[in-house]
Amino acid sequence: MVLLHGVIDLLNHLSVLPPAGKVRVAAPQSMPLDTIRLFVISKLAWIRAQQRKLQAQERETPREFLNKESHYLWGKRYLLELSFADAAPTVSLTPRKLKLQVRPSADPVRCEEVLDGWYRQQVRDALPALLAKWESLLGVKASRVFVQRMKTKWGSCTPESGYIRLNTDLAKKPPECLEYIVVHELVHLLEPSHNERFSALMDLYLPHWQHLRKQLNKLPIRHEDWHY
């Protein structure tokens, strides 16, 4: 099937959003609605497959920030120990506990903000060694790497700018999952799309990447209150 150039561009702007699999297409205002409709129909099999994956994926229960609640760092489970003090918030670890200290006025939303910031820093701290290793092996250089809370992706790459974005929640998953996402996004600097060349490059540099992808996609993802 031959697609118009504008329709080919839509391939990078078709999203299936959690939790229920709502479909979103970003298209130029000048593109005819019938063209967009035909494109979506042509991708129905892919859309339904993505919706099945979303509906099957386990989700974390909402965090209440109560003592002995389970939290994770690099795939290891810790029990929350919450304390209050009139001081700057802190997060620390013991072999079994994640200790979160916040001000007495802190509510669960503030606790989550503090912990998210800590998770973000864990990813940032892990990145220099991974980037040094894989940028050298792949012969690429990311111009900037952002770590941020992301609802629908573990990572993303904008090849034109060299910007890479990584999900803060990767700090909760086993370390090899972060490495897989870093490699995945860096390879997009060589091949922007998920075509055969992309898969061949992943096979060459990270032969077990598909196993890591399955492992990551089986792990629970953050509970979210979704607003469209």
Point out the least confidently predicted range of 15-19, 39-43, 115-119, 175-179: 15-19
12 and 98 assigned to the same domain: no
Q: Is residue 127 part of a domain?
A: yes
pLDDT band at 3 (very low <50, low <70, confident <90, very high): very low
152 and 190 assigned to the same domain: yes
Q: Is residue 62 part of a domain?
A: no
119 and 194 assigned to the same domain: yes
28 and 100 assigned to the same domain: no
Q: Bigger pLDDT: 224 or 69?
A: 69
43 and 94 assigned to the same domain: no
Residue 220 pLDDT greater than 70, yes or no: no
pLDDT of residue 33: 84
CA torsion, ordered 160, 161, 162, 165, to nearest 10 deg: -110
Q: Is residue 12 part of a domain?
A: yes
**Domain with 159 in it: what CATH number?**
3.30.2010.10
The contacts of residue 211 (CB under 8 Å, 6+ apart) are none
Mean pLDDT of 147-170: 92
pLDDT band at 141 (very low <50, low <70, confident <90, very high): very high
Mean pLDDT of 151-165: 91
**For the chain, how many structural domains are there in total?**
2
155 and 203 assigned to the same domain: yes
115 and 26 assigned to the same domain: no
pLDDT of residue 210: 92
196 and 98 assigned to the same domain: yes
Q: Is residue 141 part of a domain?
A: yes
Q: Is residue 63 part of a domain?
A: no
pLDDT of residue 216: 84
Domain that holds residue 100: 70-218
Q: Is residue 11 part of a domain?
A: yes
Q: Is residue 104 part of a domain?
A: yes
Residue 2 pLDDT greater than 60, yes or no: no
111 and 13 assigned to the same domain: no
The number of residues in the chain equals 228
Q: What is the pTM of this model?
A: 0.74
pLDDT of residue 176: 96
pLDDT of residue 133: 98
101 and 212 assigned to the same domain: yes
* SS3 labels along 138-183: HCCCCCEEEEECCCCCCEEEECCCCEEEEEHHHHHCCHHHHHHHHH
80 three-state secondary structure? strand
pLDDT band at 59 (very low <50, low <70, confident <90, very high): low
44 and 21 assigned to the same domain: yes
92 and 180 assigned to the same domain: yes
pLDDT of residue 70: 93
Residue 31 pLDDT greater than 50, yes or no: yes
